[in-house]
Structure 1
């Protein structure tokens, strides 16, 4: 009997290996110190790699880790040693695509921290309890943006709402002067 594709964790670390956003779905790392040790060792092992636009795959500590670097952020998806690498890679690609859309092609640590709530929502839309729900970046970003602003259902509508709000503020200022 085959099981659903599953993920053990998704990590977003900065260029120094420090946490930006992480989510663990199994008890393979039961304590905070075990999680931090895993993150550090994965970071050190992959630090010398030249992961660019394409995802890299490494077997590490009995787990398959798929990773990708964008600017000063390091994205990791971990699965069991029996997990399909292509599924893990598609989870990683969906996550990076969604983050890219949400951060409006400005993927760096500062912008990620400013929009941490949206990145955490991305993680929730991609995986629930270790089970992969969605891997299409645009669909993930669309769902997250619907949560991000009341009344707007897409990133395009958010931009329109923001423009109208700014125009209203300028009009109000000009009428009061």
Structure 2
């Protein structure tokens, strides 16, 4: 299960977070932990170079995309390799929506469409859609005309 998807800016403010199966009382701990992990390890990292960590029997894959840090937390069948695959889909969708690796301003301008992409990619902790073209069609918010 993918426990968390979190986007943060360069100073550690959370831009988007999605938790699945994480109790409300543990979410603050995870937020703080992920932001601190990024602050310590993402300085000078190239765009989309994946870093991996393990904490409390879960895997964390994280990187920088433009001015935004992205974190994925998974357990069980979502180990580091499965999270890396999900990561490539998420980063490709964000770059498609923004047109390039996003600045914080561009990311916030495209916030709604990025949230729609995340909802189509990760649903209730499982990766649901991995096809970029299908995700583009699903986030158009138009009724489907062809099946």
Q: What TM-score, normalized to structure 2?
A: 0.82
Which one has the largest radius of gyration? Answer: 1
Q: Please say if residues 57 and 67 of structure 1, whose CA atoms lie closer than 8 Å, have aligned partners that are also in contact.
A: yes
Asked if the contact 1:42–1:60 (Cα under 8 Å) also holds between the matched residues in 2, the reply is: no
Contact 1:101 1:138 in 2 (8 A): no
Cα distance change of structure 1 residues 142 and 151 upon mapping to structure 2, 3 Å threshold? closer
Determine if contact 2:67/2:104 at 8 Å carries over to the other structure: yes
**1:55 aligned residue (50, 60, 70):** 50
Shift of 1:30: 2.8
Equivalent residue for 1:34?
Answer: 29
Question: 2:13 aligns to what?
Answer: 18
Q: The residue matched to 2:29 in structure 1 has which SS?
A: helix
User: Match for residue 8 of structure 1?
Assistant: 3
Contact 2:8 2:35 survives alignment (8 Å): no
The aligned residue for residue 66 of structure 2 is: 71
Structure 1 residue 123 and structure 2 residue 118: aligned?
yes
Coordinate RMSD, CA, aligned: 2.5
Gaps of 5+ in 2: none
Residues 139 and 57 of structure 1: CA distance in aligned 2, closer, same or farther (over 3 Å): farther
Q: Which has the higher strand share?
A: 2
CA distance in structure 1 between the aligned counterparts of 2:99 and 2:20, rounded to whole angstroms: 28
Question: Equivalents in 2 of 1:41, 1:11: separation in Å?
Answer: 13
Deviates more, 1:129-138 or 1:33-42: 33-42
Partner of 1:175: none
CA separation of 1:135 and 1:57: change in aligned 2, threshold 3 A: farther
Q: 1:80 is matched with which residue?
A: 75
User: Structure 1 length normalisation: TM-score?
Assistant: 0.70
Task: Note if 1:133 corresponds to 2:128.
Answer: yes
